[in-house]
C-alpha cells in the first residue's frame, strides 16, 4: 500500500475520496504520496515527483499532488464542493500521471518536465495518457463526469475550457477509448 500524507487538507470527505481513488491504483503500492492543498498556479490539481538530487539516477519514491482550494480561475467554485464523481475523476487523472511517472529515473523526469513545458504535442500525449491510465484503473464514468463538469459549467472560465480542449481527451475521445479498448491517438513520442 502507498504511504499517504495529507498537508493542509481540512475537508475529511476530500481525504476519503482521495483514498478511495488511490486504492484502485495497485501500481502505486510502495510509493509515498502527498496530497497538499494550496494555491496552484494555472490549474486546479497538479501531480509531480518530489525530486531529490541524491536519487538522480534512481527513481523518485515520493510524489506530490497539489490541490487548489478553488477550481482554476474561479473564486466561487470550491474544490471541496465538487460532486463526488467529478472529484474522483480529477484525482484519478492526477494519479494516472503518477503511474506514468513511476518507471522513470529522477534524471529522466527532469527532461520529461522540460518537454512537457516546451512541447505542445508531448504535453497532449502526457495528458491523454493520464486519462487512459485512469480509465484502465476503472474510472471511466468519473473521467466523463469531470469532463462534462468542466466543459459545461457556466462559471468555469473559457480560457480553462480551451486549454482542456487543446491538451486533454474530449468527452467523445473518452467514450471511444473505452469502446475500442485502445487509445484514440497512439503516441508517437516516447514519454
Over residues 140-154, the pLDDT tens digits come to 999 999 999 999 988
Q: Rounding to the nearest 10 degrees, give the CA dihedral for residues 8, 23, 29, 170.
A: -90
- Above 60 in pLDDT, residue 189? no
pLDDT category at 106 given cuts 50, 70, 90 is confident
Give the CATH number of the domain where residue 68 resides.
Answer: 3.40.390
Q: Does the residue 68 lie in any domain?
A: yes
Query: Which residues neighbour 134 within 8 Å (Cβ) at sequence distance 6 or greater?
Result: 89, 92, 93, 95, 96, 142, 143
At 36-61, the pLDDT tens digits run 999 888 889 999 999 877 776 777 88
Burial (CB < 10 A; 0-12, 13-18, 19+), residue 167, is middle
- pLDDT at residue 110 in the model: 86
Total domains in the chain come to: 1
- On whether residue 185 sits in a domain, the answer given is no
Three-class secondary structure of residue 172 per DSSP: helix
| DSSP letters spanning 95-137 | HHHHHHHTTS-HHHHHHHHHHHHH-HHHHHHHHHHHHHHHHHT
User: What domain range includes position 152?
Assistant: 3-180
Cell 474530449 locates to: 170
Give the predicted TM-score (pTM) of the model.
Answer: 0.90
Amino acid at each position: 500500500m502507498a504511504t499517504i500524507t495529507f498537508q493542509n487538507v481540512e475537508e475529511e470527505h476530500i481525504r476519503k475520496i482521495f483514498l478511495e481513488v488511490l486504492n484502485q491504483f495497485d501500481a502505486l503500492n510502495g510509493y509515498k504520496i502527498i496530497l497538499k492543498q494550496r494555491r496552484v498556479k494555472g490549474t486546479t490539481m497538479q501531480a509531480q515527483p518530489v525530486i531529490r538530487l541524491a536519487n538522480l539516477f534512481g527513481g523518485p519514491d515520493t510524489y506530490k499532488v497539489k490541490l487548489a482550494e478553488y477550481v482554476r480561475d474561479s473564486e466561487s467554485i470550491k474544490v471541496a464542493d465538487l460532486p463526488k464523481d467529478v472529484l474522483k475523476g480529477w484525482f484519478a487523472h492526477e494519479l494516472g500521471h503518477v503511474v506514468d511517472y513511476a518507471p522513470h529515473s529522477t534524471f529522466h523526469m527532469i527532461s520529461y518536465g522540460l518537454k512537457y513545458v516546451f512541447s505542445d504535442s508531448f504535453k497532449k500525449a502526457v495528458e491523454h495518457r493520464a486519462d487512459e491510465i485512469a480509465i484502465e484503473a476503472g474510472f471511466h464514468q468519473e473521467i466523463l463526469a469531470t469532463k462534462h463538469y468542466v466543459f459545461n459549467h457556466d462559471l468555469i472560465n473559457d480560457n480553462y475550457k480551451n486549454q482542456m480542449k487543446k491538451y486533454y481527451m474530449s468527452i467523445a475521445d473518452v467514450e471511444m477509448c473505452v469502446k475500442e479498448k485502445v487509445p484514440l491517438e497512439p503516441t508517437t513520442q516516447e514519454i
